[in-house]
Amino acid sequence: MAGQGFTFEALHTPGHISNHLCFALQEEDTLFTGDHVMGWSTTVVPAPDGDPNHYLANLRPLLERPEAIYRPTHGPAITNPVSYVSSLIKHREHRERQIIDALNPKDPATLSPSWPTCTPTLTRNSTRRRRALVYAHLLALSRSGRAVNPRNDR
């Protein structure tokens, strides 16, 4: 989309939600990231519309983007986008490994009793958020064939 003195490029970045978009403002070397990349935390990826697989897959191309500054919907501007996005990717990969490790080896359709340890940064009072986060990851693992979903709710 272009107008007098501005050119926006729309980027489809599903993950946080399926219809998420980021917008690059070429004249200002800026990417408006919405909720895809936030300036204060990693984004929430709520199931079933959000998908951690898609979120991670759509973070990686940002490493090749030319924009020098990201302006998220939440949090301050990000002036080191490659480093920041790299840390988000590492965080998400680590969280996924924690959840995979929490799968019950005797029954791959269940979590081991230690599953709350895969979300150590969430407070004790955030059980609902913890369950939602783990549920989203389990659905994503099921969609990609890396976990068993006995209810098959994709």
DSSP string, 11-25: EE-TTSSTT-EEEEE
pLDDT at res. 116: 61
The pLDDT tens digits for 110-127 are: 666 666 666 666 655 577
Would you say 72 and 34 are in contact if contact means Cβ atoms under 8 Å apart? yes
Give the pair of three-digit tokens for residue 89.
């990717």
Domains and CATH numbers, the chain: 2-143 (3.60.15.10)
Cβ-based neighbour number of residue 53 at 10 Å: 20
Q: Cα–Cα distance between 20 and 3 in angstroms, integer? A: 23
> In angstroms, rounded to a whole number, what is the distance separating the alpha carbons of residues 17 and 36?
9
User: Binning pLDDT at 50, 70 and 90, where does residue 12 land?
Assistant: very high
pLDDT tens-digit series, residues 19-47: 999 999 999 999 999 999 999 888 889 88
Q: Which of 8-12, 48-52, 98-102, 103-107 has the highest mean pLDDT?
A: 8-12
Write the pLDDT tens digit of every residue in 66-112: 999 999 999 999 999 999 999 999 999 998 888 888 877 776 666 66
